Amino acid sequence: MQIDISSLKTIFNPRLRPLIGVDIGSTSVRMVELVDAGKGASRVERYVIEPLPRQAVVDGNIVALEVVADALKRCWSKLGTSTRNVALALPTASVITKKITLPANLREQDLEIQVESEANQYLPFALDEVNLDFQIIGPSPNGTDEVEVLLAASRKEKVEDRVAIAEMAGLIPVVIDIEAYAIQAAYELVVKQLPQGGQGQIIALIDIGAAVTKVTFMKDEQQLYLREQAFGGVQLTDDIMRVYGLSPEAAESMKCSGTPPENYAEEILHPFVASVAGEVARALQFFFTSTPHNEVHHIILAGGSVLIPGVVESVAQHTGINTLLADPFAGMAISPRIRAKQLAIDAPSLLVACGLALRKFD
């Protein structure tokens, strides 16, 4: 059976460059452009965060294509770059991944046939309804005559929606990645900032977005556990809207940078911050009960919602674990056009976009 992957471009294609990382979230579009600073180092050249109207993207699904395409166009215009090649990501929950073992030294055509055959066993829908791609990871630990292959598949409409909005915005989608892999690419920069580079330590990477909290436990580049929880910053936005009768835009403004009323901290902010700490503790408990592990050495917080005042301190106090904000740019040079202080503030929300932008340096 012939599989149409023309619209996918490719999930695994590190050779196309230059490239802008584009993260389409529930409440904003984030773009990051990195350039080669020489000697294997990267420089942050540009980045932009552009708000999205509420309900334009719901649960990772693009509901209003034209609205999101317009936001992409505005975001790219503000970026001020001539680069139109972009890398986007699919929500992890919308992609089926499977590690399979195949005979080594297969010809490319035979390898594709074998991958299709294996995919047919694991996918709950017909192959002509999906975009399918694969990458050889390396030799199988079970024997030298086999290789491990990572297979990734997603429903066509998920991929086609992202390709469509990029093209509507005048951009060229050259890579469609998976959010979890983009986060992991940026995580590798963050973990280097830990003592001993985090080697031998269990690290919880917790990305708290608008509606979903994504939890990944890592040890020495190995993913130990992955979980998503239905919790995010939209809960705080809804509370502000309900109590003060504000629009979603005004509520977001108050949450991020506005001047709140006197009773805001006690009645709304502090209970939400406590809820964040409770969700993190809950994620840790799931990890401990679902795996043989019983300790975590560091918690790294990412996502737009962790920028809310008091979150880091509350999580650290509640869990008793060293907690820090993710900053994938800490070891990078920064373009003079970027305000370094603002980038440090925004960095935890740029993990996916940064991971996507790193694809050109693979």
Residue carrying structure tokens 């460059």: 17
User: What is the value of pTM for the model shown?
Assistant: 0.86
Residue 223 CA to its chain's centroid (Å): 15
Question: Using an 8 Å Cβ cutoff, are 29 and 22 in contact?
Answer: yes
What number of CA atoms fall less than 13 Å from residue 241's CA on the CB side? Answer: 13
Contacting residues for 60 by C-beta, under 8 A, at least 6 apart: 90, 91, 93, 94
pLDDT of 250 reads: 83
Angle between the N-to-C axes of helices 248-256 and 234-244, in degrees from 0 to 180, rounded to the nearest 10: 110
Question: Using an 8 Å Cβ cutoff, are 244 and 314 in contact?
Answer: no
Residue carrying structure tokens 């917080």: 301
Q: What's the order of all strands across the beta sheet hosting 28-38?
A: 172-178, 85-90, 20-24, 28-38, 41-51, 333-334
Give whole-number Cα distances, 252 to 27, 54, 120, 195, in Å. Answer: 10, 11, 45, 36
Q: In the chain, what are the domains?
A: 1-91+157-193+328-362 (3.30.420.40), 93-156 (3.30.1490.300), 194-326 (3.30.420.40)
In whole angstroms, give the CA distance from residue 40 to residue 23.
Answer: 24
Q: If the chain, 362 residues long, is cut into consecutive pieces of 10 residues, what is the mean pLDDT of each piece?
A: 37 59 94 88 94 88 94 97 95 87 84 85 84 85 82 90 96 92 90 91 94 91 88 91 87 74 88 96 96 96 90 96 95 93 94 91 53
In whole angstroms, give the CA distance from residue 170 to residue 36.
Answer: 25
